[in-house]
């Protein structure tokens, strides 16, 4: 159980239990923010969780990206 909670299971590498819980909360925040952002931008922009692992950081899971629906570009 300890291994599972601390990212020892396959598919959850580098994601601790704390980061998993924070990610779940972040999902709720992103959902609420998107309701407002899409209204403000006439559905052009939206936020989404990013799985970007660049920059030499070993941790991941709490990054955001901005999606531009007009040209399909994702900005991290």
Q: Write the pLDDT tens digit of every residue in 5-59.
A: 665 655 556 678 888 899 999 999 999 999 999 999 999 999 999 876 666 555 6
pTM here is: 0.72
Q: How confident is the model at residue 9, as a pLDDT?
A: 59
Strand order across the 63-68 sheet: 45-50, 63-68, 73-75
Which residue did the predictor score with more confidence, 67 or 16? 67
Interval 9-18: pLDDT, tens: 555 566 788 8
Length reported for the chain? 76
For residue 67, the Cα-to-chain-centroid distance in whole angstroms is: 12
Cα(14)–Cα(71) distance, integer angstroms: 32
Domain boundaries, the chain: 2-75
């Amino acid at each position: 159980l300890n291994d599972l909670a601390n990212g020892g299971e396959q598919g959850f590498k580098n994601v601790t239990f704390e980061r998993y819980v924070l990610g779940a909360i972040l999902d709720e925040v992103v959902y609420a923010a998107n309701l407002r952002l899409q209204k403000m931008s006439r559905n052009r922009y939206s936020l989404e969780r990013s799985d970007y692992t660049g920059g030499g950081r070993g941790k991941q899971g709490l990054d955001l990206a901005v999606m531009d629906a007009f040209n399909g570009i994702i900005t991290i």
